[in-house]
Amino acid sequence: MEFKFTPLMKQRLTRRASEMIEHSLRYFPELQDSTITIGYTRKHLGSATVIYRKGIISRLIIRLKVRRLTYQTIGHELTHLIQGLGRGNLTAPRATDPDRIPSGETQCDIWTLARDPLFCDDPPTYIKMPRVMRERWPDYAESVRELCVAAIEKRHTQRQYIRWLEQKIRELGKAPKREKSACPAQLFLPFVI
């Protein structure tokens, strides 16, 4: 996989951000044949753009805010690129592979969290969840990720998988707080029915 930083990003890039980006890219084998341009933004946490020339994908760009950069944001923007690649060139009929990542922001969050615990260092932006979960995200991250993995499985049989996921997340937020150490991971498995 090749990637290059824009001139502005080169000026703003910190060693920490650069290492985080390189590390994240290893988790996206789908991008290995692509060249990705990585730019800088100060307005948003990040953005992703797929540029077409005559309907053919010609460039993949993400832009990131360097200050307080999270793996969550990097993963989210890279997942948008996968969504774009999955959609394919505009000249071809829409891809119908059931395993491709569907377009949409909430979908992007779900597939980003599910990809790897690395991308769970900050709460996602678009998945609806109780405020307490955002405030105490480290307590919930692992369980929410497991629910995202389960939701992706559910999608094969259930069109309302996002509604299902957000309902389960609400229930998780209402559940009495259990200390992480006293709570073996198996306890979460019954969600995956």
Q: What is the DSSP letter of 156?
A: T
Pick between residue 105 and residue 121 the one whose CB is nearest to Zn ion: 105
Between residues 109 and 146, which has the closer beta carbon with respect to Zn ion? Answer: 109
Stretch of 12-20, 57-65, 104-112, 151-159 contacting Zn ion, by CB under 5 A: 104-112
Closest residue by Cα to residue 37 from 67, 14, 57: 57
For Zn ion, the closer CB: 105 or 139: 105
Closest to 76 in 3D by CA, of 15, 43, 17, 121: 121
From the number of C-beta atoms within 10 Å of its C-beta (0-12, 13-18, 19+), residue 189 rates as exposed
When CB distances to Zn ion are compared, the closest residue is: 105
| Least distance from Zn ion to the Cβ atom of residue 105, Å | 5
Give me the least distance between CB of 120 and Zn ion, in Å please: 16
- Site mask, Zn ion, residues 110-129, x = CB under 5 A? --------------------
- Tell how far CA 27 is from the center of its chain: 11
HSE on the CB side for 134, CA within 13 Å?
Answer: 8
Q: What CA–CA distance (Å, rounded) separates 35 from 50?
A: 12
| In the complex, least distance from residue 65 CB atom to Zn ion, rounded to whole angstroms | 13
Candidates 36-44, 59-67, 99-107, 131-139 — which segment interacts with Zn ion by CB under 5 A? 99-107
Contacting positions for Zn ion (CB under 5 A): 105
